[in-house]
């Protein structure tokens, strides 16, 4: 081997050694930084897991079990009643003032304005049952106007929707 070849191999070996050394330092540095970093935890994962593995029901026995069962039923009934919109009122004016006015005052999305007899007349001619059905299930008219189901509030009961539609119709006759 010539001197120039030996010199090249020595320099090439030193460059390779230096690159390997830099690579090892970078690997060690990355490992050190990663080991100190906090592990990511999905927010709420613990609650989701606890809900998923919670028991489906309970066993009640004897008088104390009966009392516990009644208390659970009362709590469930109160929770269900709390889910009804606007405290369960069937006052159409109140529900209109809380929800429906936002579209039916300004005529948003083709909504007939409250008291606009000319705009309400063809709708009223379809019958109150049809209007209530459109309010409950939602409706998109041929002219592109849109009524979301239950005015966009799914917690409205059928009785509340019917009372509100009847009140609105009475104001627009």
pLDDT along the chain (173 residues), means of 10: 91 96 96 78 81 79 76 77 72 86 84 86 89 86 82 84 89 82
**How much is the pLDDT for 20?**
97
- Tell me, what DSSP letter sits at residue 97? I
| Residue 15 β-bridge partners | none
Element (H, E) at 119: helix 117-125
Domain boundaries, the chain: 90-171
| Domain made up of 90-171: CATH architecture | Orthogonal Bundle (1.10)
- Rounded Cα gap, residues 156 and 3, in angstroms: 94
What per-residue confidence (pLDDT) applies to 52?
Answer: 87
How far apart are the C-alpha atoms of 162 and 148, rounded to whole Å?
15
Q: How many CB atoms lie within 10 A of CB 96?
A: 20
Q: Which of 166, 152, 78 is nearest to 108 (CA)?
A: 152
Whole-number pLDDT of residue 105? 86
Q: Residue 146 in contact with residue 139, Cβ under 8 Å?
A: yes
pTM of the shown model: 0.53
């Amino acid at each position: 081997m010539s001197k120039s070849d030996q010199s090249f191999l020595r320099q090439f070996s030193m460059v390779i050694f230096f690159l390997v050394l830099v690579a090892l330092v970078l690997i060690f540095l990355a490992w050190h930084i990663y080991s100190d970093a906090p592990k990511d935890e999905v927010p709420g994962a613990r609650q989701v897991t606890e809900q998923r593995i919670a028991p489906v029901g309970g066993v009640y026995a004897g008088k104390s079990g009966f009392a516990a069962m009644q208390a659970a039923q009362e709590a469930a009934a109160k929770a269900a009643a709390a889910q009804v919109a606007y405290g369960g009122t069937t006052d159409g004016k109140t529900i209109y003032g809380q929800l429906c006015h936002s579209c039916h005052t300004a005529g948003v999305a083709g909504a007939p304005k409250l008291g606009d007899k000319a705009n309400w007349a063809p709708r009223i001619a379809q019958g109150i049952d049809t209007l209530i059905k459109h309010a409950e299930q939602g409706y998109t008219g041929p002219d592109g106007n849109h009524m979301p189901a239950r005015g966009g509030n799914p917690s409205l009961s059928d009785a509340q929707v019917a009372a509100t539609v009847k009140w609105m119709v009475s104001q627009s006759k």
